[in-house]
Amino acid sequence: MDVPPEINNVNSSSKWERDYQRGTAGWDIGTPTPVFQRLIRSGEFPPGRILVPCAGRGHDAREFARHGFEVVAVDFAREAVEQMRALMDDASQYEIWQGDLFQLPQEWNDTFDYVLEYTCYCALDPKRREEYADMIARVLKKGGKYIALALPLNERVGGPPFTVKPDELISQLTQRGLKLLHREFPSDSIKPRKGNEELLVMKKT
């Protein structure tokens, strides 16, 4: 049986719908990300309005909401959004938007204190990474922070996930007015990803 071309096209929601429906969403670890839990506990990131693009089933979105953040979760796949809604603790803590992250509402411009990145940048068509950087700079307010776990760092042929080069991502965002505050190889990465992801924190100046 022939597979429609859009099923393997990362620019099509059909590809991501199929992954969720078939249970092949391998990026989903089923729990909040330990690194982000540490950052929340640190007190260095007080609650504010946070955008979670490619939110999937919303494990990290829910964790931030539990700690008082105003969460806006975005995903391309309707299946992911439906599962995210089903897992909600309290619908009042969230705004969920199903759609293309390159077409976010203009009224979101300069309104976010944070953007949370994990397994989103690596899932995009690499030709659209500059557009992604434009989106980050557009939605963050002045002083807002971009918190990212850049993954995977190892050289790969094809994707998704596509290889991420943190220095390239930093450069893209620096050109758009963000400043690097911190980077580290987290010791609390989950075991399969330890050494293959890097934490980046940047601020819009």
Report all structural domains of the chain as residue ranges with CATH numbers, in order of start: 5-204 (3.40.50.150)
User: What pLDDT, on the 0 to 100 scale, is given for residue 20?
Assistant: 66
User: What pLDDT, on the 0 to 100 scale, is given for residue 3?
Assistant: 40
User: What pLDDT, on the 0 to 100 scale, is given for residue 157?
Assistant: 85
User: What pLDDT, on the 0 to 100 scale, is given for residue 22?
Assistant: 76
User: What pLDDT, on the 0 to 100 scale, is given for residue 10?
Assistant: 84
> Which residue reads 């909401």 in tokens?
65
Which residue numbers in the chain have pLDDT < 70?
1-8, 16, 20, 23-26, 91-92
Please give the Cα distance from 144 to 87 (Å, whole number).
28
For 64, half-sphere exposure in the C-beta direction (CA atoms, 13 angstrom radius) is 28
Please give the Cα distance from 105 to 37 (Å, whole number).
29
User: What pLDDT, on the 0 to 100 scale, is given for residue 29?
Assistant: 87
User: What pLDDT, on the 0 to 100 scale, is given for residue 51?
Assistant: 98
User: What pLDDT, on the 0 to 100 scale, is given for residue 1?
Assistant: 36
